[in-house]
Amino acid sequence: MGGEYLPHYLVGEVEIARICLQSTTSDVVSLRARPSPEGICYRVIDEYEGQFTLPISTSLLPLTLAELVRQFDDGSLHELDWGGGLSLGYNNMNADGGSDYESLRHFTDISSSFYRQLSTHYEHVFEDWVKESCDERDAEPAAGGEV
């Protein structure tokens, strides 16, 4: 499984990037673009009819790599407030559930056929997330322990 239950494409729409989760059902979140009278319209969809917000909903020109990264870093899913935008949010949500950070290192994969550098960028982001999260965890005093 993995994306089979995403909604159909709108007329002229293409997927420009996707988030693949190593969840039980291999959930997929798709960032799509389509032409419109305003230029290019963007939307994010998942297999559960989630309501997403993007920082850039339209543009006259295709997104730069930095703008695409902003879509994932600042985009959000209305039903959940986990911090970290769409890029780190799924990892943060699972870490809050008690999982250790190292096991979540490869939980989220962000890729694009159009922006080849996107995967490499997020590989570094997820590596940094693990390191920073582990450093914060290790700096906290043990429960019931002395400060």
Confirm whether 25 is domain-assigned.
yes
Confirm whether 2 is domain-assigned.
no
Q: Are 16 and 33 in contact (CB under 8 A)?
A: yes
H/E stretch holding 45: strand 39-46
Closest to 48 in 3D by CA, of 72, 25, 17, 75: 25
Q: Are 62 and 39 in contact (CB under 8 A)?
A: no
Number of domains in the chain: 1
Confirm whether 69 is domain-assigned.
yes
Confirm whether 7 is domain-assigned.
no
Confirm whether 3 is domain-assigned.
no
Q: What is the pLDDT of residue 28?
A: 96
Can you list the alpha helix ranges (DSSP code H) found in the chain? 65-74, 85-96, 117-139
Domain that holds residue 128: 14-139
CA triple 92-94-95, angle to 5 deg: 60
Confirm whether 9 is domain-assigned.
no
Along the 147 residues of the chain, how does pLDDT read in single tens digits? Answer: 577 889 999 999 999 999 999 998 899 999 999 999 999 999 999 999 999 999 999 999 999 999 999 999 999 998 777 788 999 999 988 887 566 788 888 999 999 999 999 999 999 999 999 988 887 777 776 655 554
Helix (H, G, I), strand (E, B) or coil at 102: helix
Confirm whether 147 is domain-assigned.
no
Q: Are 50 and 82 in contact (CB under 8 A)?
A: no
Confirm whether 103 is domain-assigned.
yes
pTM: 0.87
Residue 41 pairs in a beta bridge with: 34, 58
Q: What is the pLDDT of residue 127?
A: 93
Q: Which two tokens stand for residue 132?
A: 């920073």
